[in-house]
Amino acid sequence: MTRRATWRGRCGSDDGNAIVEFVYLAVLLMVPLVYVLLTVFRVQAAAFAVSSAAREAGRVYATSDSVPDAGPRAFAAARIVMADSDLQLSPDDLRITCSTTTCLRPGSRVEVAMTYQVALPLVPRFLYGRAPTTIRVTSHHLEVVDRYRTVAR
């Protein structure tokens, strides 16, 4: 009887199973959680960069000396802000409109709209075109040209 009791004791024991179950569940739950956190952090960083770039583009545009120089200067300012966050800005991502025909007239409004496509992390190439692989982030900024500035050329 002792042999049977010791054999049953060795095979029916649950010693060590809790650790295996914990590791299995931890991996099963932590991998998606880490992926979601990576995605949220990347989108939040891009949203902050896009918001800052739109604000700076509007400020630079409104303080430019002439209308022909204002657009390239605004794009350069937005590109610098985006580069600080390791993001690339294309000319299609930035749109600047004015409330009047002469953009830099005192009191006129300069509207800046920016959109940026944030790539999702760790998405395999075979999903491109079949599933959403980016998240669009947009920002709008309204800048009023200083009332006491000289009229632009």
**pLDDT given for residue 13 in this prediction:** 64
Q: What is the pLDDT of residues 94-133, one digit of tens each?
A: 999 998 777 888 889 999 999 999 999 888 888 888 888 8
Is residue 6, in this structure, part of any structural domain at all? no
Is residue 131, in this structure, part of any structural domain at all? yes
State if pTM tops 0.85: no
Domain total of the chain: 1
Range of the domain at 124: 16-144
Is residue 132, in this structure, part of any structural domain at all? yes
**pLDDT given for residue 23 in this prediction:** 86
Q: Which residues in the chain show pLDDT less than 70?
A: 1-15, 151-153
**pLDDT given for residue 101 in this prediction:** 79
Is residue 9, in this structure, part of any structural domain at all? no
Is residue 83, in this structure, part of any structural domain at all? yes
Separation between Cα atoms, residue 151 and residue 143, nearest integer Å:
16
**pLDDT given for residue 12 in this prediction:** 59
Is residue 92, in this structure, part of any structural domain at all? yes
Is residue 150, in this structure, part of any structural domain at all? no
Q: Which one-letter amino acid corresponds to residue 126?
A: F
Is residue 79, in this structure, part of any structural domain at all? yes
